[in-house]
Amino acid sequence: MSGLTGGYITPYALTMQATTQQIGYLTSLPNFANSFIQLISPFLSEHVNSRKTFLLPLILMQAVLWLPILAIPFLFQTNQFWWLLAFITLSTAAGALVGPPFSSMMADLVPMRVRGSYFGGRSRICNFVSLLFSFIAGGLLQLFTGNTRLAFAIVFIGAFISRLISFYFLSLMLEPRRITSKTVKKESIIQITKGLFATNIGRIIIVSILLNLSTSIAGPFFSAYMLRELKFSYINYQLVSAASTVVRLLVVTWWGKRADKAGSVKILRITGWMIPFVPLLWLLSSNVYWIFCYEAFSGFAWAGFELCIGLFVYDASPQENRTRYIAISGTLGSIGTTLGSLIGGTIGPHLPLIKGSYFLTLFLISGIARLMVVSLLLRRVSEVRDVPPTRTLELIFGSFRISSLAAHLKAFCKRIKDMLFKNSNGR
C-alpha cells in the first residue's frame, strides 16, 4: 500500500491542478488530524480487551477509503482537491489510531537485545516490497500518460487490495499478554508532556518534533520541484524517488546491527549530522543523475536515524506507559510536520529566488534549520542501553579496527622510509 501511494498522492493532486499552497495543505492538514487522534488512541485501545480487536476494524476502514479516493475524478467535476484532502485525512486518522497500539504490541513481542536487527530486517523487507510496487505504479503512470485517471484508479485499487492482505495477516498474529507492574503507575498524557524537558525520552521526542518541522519546510515540495519545474518524466521521477528506498533497503539492517552493538544514540548522532546536508545538496545541481545521488545519500542517513528514533522510544519508555509515549511521540512529531508544511507552503511563493526557483530557497532554509536542531539538541540525549563505548570509525567499518589501520599505516611509512634511504645510499 505504501509503495503504491506514498510518492503519488502529490502527483495525483497535481492532476487536479493543485496549487503549491494546496500541496502544503495536503501534507499539513492530515498530519494535523493525525496529531490529535494519536493522543486518544492509547485510551481507546486500553479499554478494549485485545489490541487486535481494536486494530482490525481500523485497518479495514483504511483499506476501504482508497475506493472513494480513486473515484474522485469520475464523481466530482469541481472541488476535486478538497475531496481528496478530506478522504486522505480520514485515511490518515485511521492510521493514526492504529499506530501506537500496534507499535506497543511489536515492542512487547521483540526482546530489547535484538530489536535493532529485527526491526532493521523487517524494514528491509517492507522497503523492498514498497520499492517494487512504487516502480509498478510509476510504470503504470508512464504507460497511461494520456489517461492518468485510469492509471491512478489501477494504482489505488492495488492499495485497497494490499491493505486487505495486511488485514488478513494481522488477524493471524499472536498478541502478547500485557504485563502490569505495581511499582510503575500509568501516567497521564499531561504528566508525560510536562516532563518532556526533564527526561531522556522527552528530549529525544523534542529533537524529533523540531527535526520533523525543519524537514517538512521542504519535504512536500521536492516532488513539485521535480515534476513542475525540472519537468521530470514519471520514470525519472520514480528512479530518483527510488534511490532513497534502494539505499534504505541495503543499509537499514546494517544500521540495526550497529544499534544493537553501540546503542541507538550513537547512530542517531552519526546520521543526525548527515541529515542537514540532504536539502542543501539540491542547490548544487538540477541534473537528474546528481539528484539521484542526493537521494541515495538521504536514504543512507534517514535509514539509520528513523530506525533508531523508534528503537530509542521503545527502549526508554516503561512498558506500562509505552503506548502513551509512542502516541505522544507520534502526535508531537505530526504537529512538527504540520507546522513545517504550512510554513513552507505559505512563505514559499514570497521568498527570493535561487536559480530562478523559490523551491531551492525552501531547501536552503530547511537545511539550516535541521543543522541548528542537530547541533544544539541532539547532544543532550544519552543512551539507555548498557553498551560498550565504540569509536565512530570502528562502528562504521566493523572488523577493520582503528588499531589495525594504524599498524598498516606505520608499516607503509616504514617501507617508504626504507626505500628512500636505500635509493639515497645507492646514489
pLDDT of 209 above 80: yes
pLDDT of 427 above 80: no
List Cβ neighbours of 369 (8 Å cut-off, separation of 6 or more). 213, 214, 217
pLDDT band at 424 (very low <50, low <70, confident <90, very high): very low
pLDDT band at 405 (very low <50, low <70, confident <90, very high): very low
pLDDT band at 149 (very low <50, low <70, confident <90, very high): confident
pLDDT in tens, 212-239: 999 999 988 888 888 888 888 878 887 8
pLDDT in tens, 299-348: 999 999 988 888 888 888 777 777 788 888 877 887 888 788 888 888 88
pLDDT band at 422 (very low <50, low <70, confident <90, very high): low
**Rounded average pLDDT over 280-305:** 91
Q: What is the pLDDT of residue 402?
A: 44
pLDDT band at 399 (very low <50, low <70, confident <90, very high): very low
**Rounded average pLDDT over 376-401:** 74
CA nearest to 255, candidates 71, 375, 118, 106: 118
Alpha-carbon span 267 to 263, nearest angstrom: 7
- Helix, coil or strand: residue 11: helix
Q: What is the pLDDT of residue 331?
A: 79
The CATH T-level fold of domain 2-176+187-390 is Growth Hormone; Chain: A; (1.20.1250)
Residue 249 burial by Cβ neighbours in a 10 Å radius (0-12, 13-18, 19+)? buried
pLDDT of 211 above 80: yes
195 or 142, higher pLDDT: 142
List Cβ neighbours of 420 (8 Å cut-off, separation of 6 or more). none
pLDDT of 297 above 90: yes
**Rounded average pLDDT over 29-46:** 78
- Helix, coil or strand: residue 178: coil
Q: Is 98 left (phi over 0), alpha (psi -120 to 50) or beta?
A: alpha
How much of the chain, in percent, has pLDDT values that exceed 70?
90
384 or 286, higher pLDDT: 286
C-alpha distances out from residue 190 to 42, 64, 195, 207, 328, Å: 13, 34, 9, 19, 10
What are the residue boundaries of the structural domains of the chain, listed by start? 2-176+187-390
Q: What's the chain's average pLDDT? A: 83
**Rounded average pLDDT over 144-162:** 89
Cell of 215: 524537514
pLDDT in tens, 177-198: 765 555 556 666 777 777 777 7
C-alpha distances out from residue 177 to 39, 49, 109, 188, 396, Å: 23, 11, 9, 22, 37
CA nearest to 242, candidates 144, 136, 370: 136
Q: Which long-range contacts (C-beta less than 8 Å, at least 24 apart) are formed by 150-155?
A: 152/8, 152/12, 152/15, 152/70, 152/73, 153/70, 153/71, 153/74, 155/4, 155/5, 155/8, 155/70
Q: What is the pLDDT of residue 282?
A: 92
List Cβ neighbours of 146 (8 Å cut-off, separation of 6 or more). none
pLDDT of 138 above 70: yes
Cβ(333)–Cβ(210) below 8 Å? no
pLDDT of 369 above 80: yes
Q: Which residues pair with 357 in a beta bridge?
A: 354
Cell of 52: 487486535
68 or 408, higher pLDDT: 68
Instruction: Of 31-40, 86-95, 114-123, 359-368, give the lowest mean pLDDT range.
Output: 31-40
pLDDT band at 373 (very low <50, low <70, confident <90, very high): very high
Instruction: Of 27-41, 149-163, 226-240, 400-414, give the lowest mean pLDDT range.
Output: 400-414
Whole-model pTM: value is 0.68
Q: What is the pLDDT of residue 391?
A: 76
